Amino acid sequence: MTILQLAQVGCGGMGLRHVYGLIELRQCGFSDFQLVSICDRNRSAAEYVAKIAESGLGLRPRIHTDFQQMLETEVSLDAVNIVTDTLTHQPFAVAGFNAGLHVSVEKPMAITVSACHKMLKASIEAGKVLSVSENYRRDPMNRFVKMILESGIIGEVRLAINVSTSSGTNDVRQVVAWRHLKDRGGLILEYGVHTSDLILYFMGSVDRIYAETHLWQKTRTMTDHISPELNKFYSHRVKEEIENVSYINATAEDTAASVLRFKSGAIGQITYSDSAPGESSDTDVIYGSKGSLRLPGSRTGNSIKVFLTGNETAVSNHDLIKEVPEFRLDDVTSHIFGGADQPLGYQLSFEDYDRKLIAIEMQDFFNSIIEGREPEVMGSIGLDAVALSYSILESGYINEPVLFEDVRNGSISGYQKGINLNSILSI
């Protein structure tokens, strides 16, 4: 049996969540990996995560504070999992490929479209796997949504609407200051990439995009408060993030309203704001020629709501299953979710759902290496999600519609120009 020797770089909140995902894998009987080393510039954070890894995986990973040094000294490594801030994804990934390693990287794939292309090129030249951690699509209920759409239950898909607005007081967004900075990613890339990946997964390729964007809340007050739900993951890095910082001058747009035309002919709307005081809004609905489908919300376990023409009552999930009897979860997902292969909904905590979805995406990464295949969310798909998020920002920047392919291939990159020039893409 192949046992992959894995390293992880990044021991912040997301890095800790990935370790819990690996622990979930081990608890579910998957044993084709060992986490042998971890790296973070903050040694105390690395030691904290290493302790948790040891308790859950039975092996204390070796600790490093310099990524390049780790690559030079850990000569038995097969793969590296990059769970750092977006700015470092591309240089770390390229360094990993140059060292002969397979690479998994957290979303978004990279800080710009150009950086994504550099990663893809390096992976192809090295002949190594590049996997992007987009786990919302791996939610069993989103798998069910995909099958329902493909089955034609709601008819020909015509319109997809995604609206997400809030006051901007989310704990993690306030604590992690760099998420409000344009040259570090910004919220429309950092959070919006989830929506970008899902809408492409459900609706297919995009043709063109028009958007209006704006930065309303130019000052963000920092806070050391984290909700109990998230405190378990982020408490060990809060002091570092907010030390000597009471506020931050935001440079990244916090609001975007966009219209998309898909190659299928369908229309989409994506509206996002993190500076909308008052009532928050979350709308995620797909309309077809025979009815509508309200998405359950990723990582909620809620049921799908399908309304067909002439029926004021939602079709039960039991009846939806009958309409798509061929639907089955893949073996890994089914096993991690307790053996269920036809999901009707789940009652799980955020932590439980989070661990399971990260476990699924990591096992897909491991299996792709062992089986010599592409992972589900390969580099080109990660690039698509980044390109769609930047299509919104590029359109808002020039106040004109843009073709998705022009943003994807780098022909339109005015908004990103400064980010590329000021970043560390050459490393």
Give the CATH number of the domain where residue 218 resides.
3.30.360.10
pLDDT at residue 426, rounded to an integer: 41
Co-location of 34 and 67 in the same domain: yes
Q: What confidence tens digit (pLDDT) does each residue in 391-410 have?
A: 999 999 999 999 999 999 99
Co-location of 267 and 168 in the same domain: yes
Residue type, 94: V
Co-location of 110 and 146 in the same domain: no
**Is residue 390 domain-resident?**
no
d(CA 415, CA 395): 9
pLDDT surpassing 80 at residue 54: yes
Average pLDDT over the chain, rounded to an integer:
91
Co-location of 162 and 299 in the same domain: yes
**Is residue 352 domain-resident?**
no
Predicted structure pTM score: 0.94
Co-location of 240 and 268 in the same domain: yes
Co-location of 109 and 225 in the same domain: no
**Which domain range does residue 172 map to?**
137-345
**Is residue 15 domain-resident?**
yes
Co-location of 148 and 106 in the same domain: no
**Is residue 358 domain-resident?**
no
Which of 286, 256, 293 shows the shortest CA–CA distance to 273?
A: 256
d(CA 180, CA 191): 11
CB neighbour class for 29 (10 Å; exposed up to 12, middle 13-18, buried from 19): exposed
Residue whose tokens read 């590296």: 80
pLDDT surpassing 70 at residue 230: no
Mean pLDDT of 99-108: 98
d(CA 134, CA 155): 28
pLDDT at residue 342, rounded to an integer: 80
Sign of CA dihedral 363, 367, 369, 375: negative
Co-location of 227 and 337 in the same domain: yes
- Could you tell me which residue, 285 or 422, shows the higher pLDDT? 285
pLDDT at residue 229, rounded to an integer: 63
**Is residue 105 domain-resident?**
yes
CB atoms within 10 A of CB 235: 14
- Could you tell me which residue, 233 or 238, shows the higher pLDDT? 233
Range of lowest pLDDT (2-6, 135-139, 239-243, 295-299): 239-243
pLDDT at residue 423, rounded to an integer: 64
Co-location of 222 and 235 in the same domain: yes
pLDDT at residue 340, rounded to an integer: 79
Which of 40, 76, 79, 36 shows the shortest CA–CA distance to 54?
A: 36
Q: How many domains does the chain have?
A: 2
